[in-house]
């Protein structure tokens, strides 16, 4: 019973967040409602929720694992500050079948420099843009 409650709290945090939190950040949110919950417990619940398909794990190169809701959307990842932004699916036509194969899901990550970083660095070079 207690486990179910913890899992629900973790799930709610992920579903209500747009920041793609790391396990550590999820833990910070959890202790606001459940002060005794340990980071290990949060990890365990995140793993359970991933295996149940209720949330998804985002593995972004050079970053700690983040967690996200499963509702279909694409991501824009800023190569400068590392923020992950949700994008609505609008630009691309998704297909159910490709060459006789049934498509179950499709993940697209756009990479670039976010508006915030662009504004901050007018005129400056941003590390990593060149040569990519
Ligand atoms: Zn940025
Ligand atoms: Zn997302």
Domain boundaries, the chain: 2-68, 72-120
Calculated CA dihedral for residues 41, 59, 74, 104, nearest 10 degrees = -90
CATH code of 2-68, in short, is 1.10.10.10
Closest by Cα among 26, 30, 24, 23 to 5: 30
State whether CATH 3.30.1330.10 applies to domain 72-120: no
Please, which pLDDT band fits residue 26 given cuts at 50, 70 and 90? very high
- The rounded distance, in Å, linking the Cα atoms of 81 and 11 is 26
pLDDT at 102: 83
pLDDT at 130: 44
| Whole-model pTM over 0.75 | no
pLDDT at 3: 77
**Both structure tokens of 58:** 């985002």
- Per residue in 71-97, pLDDT (tens digit) is 778 889 999 999 999 887 655 666 778
Helices (H) and strands (E) in the chain, counts: 4, 7
d(CA 78, ligand 1 centre) in Å: 5
Residues less than 5 Å from ion ligand 1, measured at CB: 78, 80-81, 114, 117
Ligand that comes closest to the CA of residue 126: 1
């Amino acid at each position: 019973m207690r486990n179910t409650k913890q899992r629900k709290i973790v799930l709610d945090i992920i579903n209500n967040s747009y920041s793609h939190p790391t396990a550590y950040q999820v833990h910070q949110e959890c202790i606001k409602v459940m002060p005794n919950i340990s980071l290990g417990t949060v990890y365990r619940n995140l793993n359970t929720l991933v295996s149940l398909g209720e949330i998804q794990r985002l593995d972004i190169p050079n970053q700690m694992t983040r967690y996200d809701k499963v509702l279909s959307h694409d991501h824009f990842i800023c190569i400068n500050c590392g923020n992950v932004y949700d994008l609505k699916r609008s630009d691309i036509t998704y297909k159910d079948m490709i060459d006789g194969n049934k498509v179950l899901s499709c993940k697209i990550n756009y990479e670039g420099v976010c508006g915030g970083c662009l504004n901050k660095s007018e005129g400056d070079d941003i590390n990593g843009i060149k040569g990519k």
